[in-house]
Amino acid sequence: MHDSGCLMGKYRFRIKRFSQEEDSSSRWDTFSIDMKPMERVLDGLDRIKDYADGSLTFRRSCGHGICGSCAMKINGRNRLSCQTLIKDMPETIRIEPLEAFPVIKDIVVDMDDFFKKNDYVLPYLINDEPPPERERLQSQAEQEKILESITCIMCGSCTSSCPIYWTDNQYLGPSSILKAYRFIFDSRDRAKEERLGKISGAHGVWRCHSIFNCVESCPKEIDITGHITELKRLALKKNLHL
Amino acid sequence: MRHQFDTVIICSGLAGLRAALEASNGGNVAVLSKLYPTRSHSTTAQGGIGAALGNEEPDKPEWHFYDTVKGSDFLGDQDAIEIMCEDAIRAIIELEHLGVPFSRTPEGRIAQRYFGGHTRDFGVAPVRRACYSADRTGHAIVFALYEQCQLKGVKFFPEFFVLDIVIENTRCHGVITLEISTGEFHIFSSKATLIASGGYGRVFKTTSNAYASTGDCLSILFNRVIPLEDMEFFQFHPTGLYGIGILITEGARGEGGILINGKGERFMERYAPTIKDLAPRDMVCRAILTEIREGRGIDGKDYIYLDLRHIPKKTLQERLPEISTFCKIYMGIDPSEQPIPVIPTAHYTMGGIPTDIDGRVFMDEKGSVVNGLFAAGECACVSVHGANRLGCNSLLDTVVFGRRAGNAIRDEIKEIEYGRIRNNELEKSRMLIDSILTSDGKEKIANIRTDLQDRMMEHCSVFREEKNLKGLIDSIGILKERTEDIGLKDKTRKFNTELIDAIELKHMLTLSEVIASSALERKESRGAHYREDHPERDDTIWMKHTLAFKTDKGIEFRYKPVKITRFKSEERRY
């Protein structure tokens, strides 16, 4: 249990460093620090920033896997540093920024393109019918249909892990497609066709080759590839294939 | 760089987003946030949003009104509380229409569950009033509002850090910000500025609050001689995960969870015989800490258990999936099999920037307002929460009063000119940054911050007394001096988070001094403010709101009356 019966151990944090302002290329720094098994990797990064090197730069906010700020590559896999515990780590912990996004500083990447792609899929409920006086009814089964997709925290882990996104920077990426799914399958939405058109283009669902990296990297354990496959099936039905 | 917007909104949590939707009907809107918009702390709200929809059983806004007044230990302003509870039903239906994926009843209506302090028939028994989206209610609403703001063309400025809010005489002109990624200054002149910057739980060692919850804007306003109201009232949430403080929603007790001590007793029966574990948070926190103090913690240690083992697994999976995951990740336990070790965790500030019912910011106890300045949400003090907020009333507060502020802004900007920010205002911010970056001081930010958080936790949390508060105020003074000697390792301009940490620390110290001083001043016990040396509520002297002003001679206190329209003060039993 947290904070009790836990022995300190030495861990080596190998961190990829880069500053747009100061560096022409990246380097690796190593910090050796004491950690307890139930502490988070984020606690380790905090300790380094607080006491060893104040210039170490990374994003964080909620600290428990909801805000999506602290996605990074930890020992080669995209994870949230706030929900990765030391007990599950080897003695050397390799920290890198998310792949495929431009690095601003150390672990901080530029996510503007990621959010712009999201905007493209009309990420909002569209329904111009006059609303009823009370709530629009939605059955539990209808809600179940979107339950997984609404838990997305937009941390960027999936899109950054996708090999298609690495090679086609216009590809919408798993996160945006999942967002489209969230509305296309919401029983209250009325812009399904339009949205489906948007994700069926040359850089949409058909670029997905079911590599499953997104599923593997999702900190909320969403079956993103499964959702994309369902959208492909729907697009096919509507003759929206390439 | 200079920008001009009709409305500038600081922060993109629920209050800011809800206001933005409304204000965008009257002109262009910029929302600035030190995080990306979807990362704001509102997303972590778990359990629910209150409204007497009556979807699960009969309920009335009037009962909600009474519960909120009683929950506030009679310090809440009843005109504002009545507005909130009456408007709640409309507000929730509207959220549903905007796309919020609420959990549903078998009939397809918005599902509701029990929450602390919410009752039927003026306190007779608990009532299901909290509307929820599993235990991700805040996340669900933030996304829906953010998405609708995009549809409305609201302009977002992510990772812009507010350095100053420019107020001259009685007029707010806009804000000065630092674009974190470039290190450049951006000046936003506006007709109206809305502060919706949330809380500052980070001043305490154990907190459910995000790293970003440091209260920057309140500190800036206080230094600009805007008073802060009722700052002594800080809510601790009874069930934070032991050792780490992460929130376990009150919805867990709403679904049937109970608190047990080291002797296996359901001890809340002794403290609140009628509604037991669903008593308001201030009472449950004191009960937990009393059990621990009297040696009835688990194995005599400093925590107790939240027991969910008797709740059907299906209910846990469907209605409390997120907290079940937290228990697994951070404690290594399955809550369907093992009880959860919990302790009170710093959670919510009842006090804040004094406003009227439309978000206009007051600059004194007489009700004079600052033109063009508005506040809503946790950072504001309307006051609907008084001395203690009820669970699921915070989200409601943000959407009701965020909307009202947005409406007021939409109407008022027709008659206001754009603010004007002179270059010498920018110079102050520039000097602040330069002095921190060029200092060769020896102090580390983390040492001062940890010192502050430890002391605030020890002397200014659930139990307080004069001697400790005085000692605390003295040590905050010393910590303030030490911040003058902070030296940074990072001297660069682009994405310098060490610089941000340093500025946030200054704000945390400012607010801590206001909290501790306000707590020292109020010599009674009411709601979340419990003075061991003054354990009784004292309505004859203290039925009034505190306003703390910054002066040359230190903090000065003035007071204003509580608005009582319907319910007279009574003994608070549950």
Return the residue of A nearest to B446 by Cα: A50
Q: Which residues of B touch A55 (CB under 8 A)?
A: 489-490, 492, 498
CA distance B243 to chain A (A): 6
> Which regions of chain B are under pLDDT 50?
none
Tell the residue number behind the tokens 């994309």, with chain if given.
A228
CA distance A139 to chain B (A): 4
When pLDDT is averaged across residues A128-136 and rounded to a whole number, the result is: 95
**Nearest 10 degrees: Cα torsion B145, B149, B150, B154:** -150
Contact B331 A2 (CB under 8 A): yes
Query: Using 50, 70 and 90 to split pLDDT, how confident is the model at A22?
Result: confident
Contact B444 A66 (CB under 8 A): no
Contact B489 A123 (CB under 8 A): no
The reply to whether B225 touches chain A by the CB within 8 Å rule is no
Closest CB to A140: pick one of B39, B106, B498: B106
pLDDT tens-digit readout, B30-66: 999 999 999 999 999 999 999 999 999 999 999 999 9
Question: Are residues B157 and B181 in contact, defined by beta-carbon separation less than 8 angstroms?
Answer: no
Number of A/B CB contacts below 8 angstroms equals 165
Return the residue of B nearest to A48 by Cα: B446
Closest CB to A22: pick one of B92, B139, B492: B492
Return the residue of B nearest to A52 by Cα: B489
Query: Using 50, 70 and 90 to split pLDDT, how confident is the model at A4?
Result: very low
Chain B 284-313, residues with CB within 8 Å of chain A CB atoms: none
Chain B 439-458, residues with CB within 8 Å of chain A CB atoms: 444-446
Tell the residue number behind the tokens 């002397």, with chain if given.
B459
* B281 catalytic per annotation: yes
Q: What pLDDT score was predicted for residue A242?
A: 64
Neighbours of B183 (CB within 10 A): 16
Chain B 79-138, residues with CB within 8 Å of chain A CB atoms: 92-93, 96-99, 101-104, 106-110, 133, 136
Q: Which residues of B touch A125 (CB under 8 A)?
A: 98-99, 144, 147-148
Q: From residue B558, give the alpha-carbon distance in Å to each of B130, B547, B561.
A: 36, 5, 11
Query: Among candidates A42, A112, A57, which has minimal Cα distance to B499?
Result: A57
CA distance B128 to B63: 12
Return the residue of B nearest to A21 by Cα: B494
Does A138 have pLDDT greater than 60? yes
Query: Using 50, 70 and 90 to split pLDDT, how confident is the model at A239?
Result: confident
CA distance B316 to B309: 10
Q: Which amino acid is at B32?
A: L
Chain B 475-534, residues with CB within 8 Å of chain A CB atoms: 488-490, 492-498
Q: Which of B248, B326, B494 to mutate to test the interface with A (most CBs of A within 10 A)?
A: B494
CA distance A39 to chain B (A): 8
Q: Which residues of B touch A137 (CB under 8 A)?
A: 107-109
H/E/C letters for each residue in A79-122?
A: EEHHHCEHHHCCCEEEEECCCCCCEEECCEECCHHHHHHHHHCC
Q: What pLDDT score was predicted for residue B161?
A: 98
Query: Among candidates A111, A97, A73, A100, which has minimal Cα distance to A169?
Result: A100
Does A155 have pLDDT greater than 90? yes
Question: Are residues B355 and B382 in contact, defined by beta-carbon separation less than 8 angstroms?
Answer: yes
For B264, the 3-state DSSP assignment is coil
Q: What pLDDT score was predicted for residue A6?
A: 62
Q: Which amino acid is at B22?
A: E
Q: What pLDDT score was predicted for residue A9?
A: 93
Where helices occur in B294-341 by DSSP H, the ranges are 313-319, 321-326
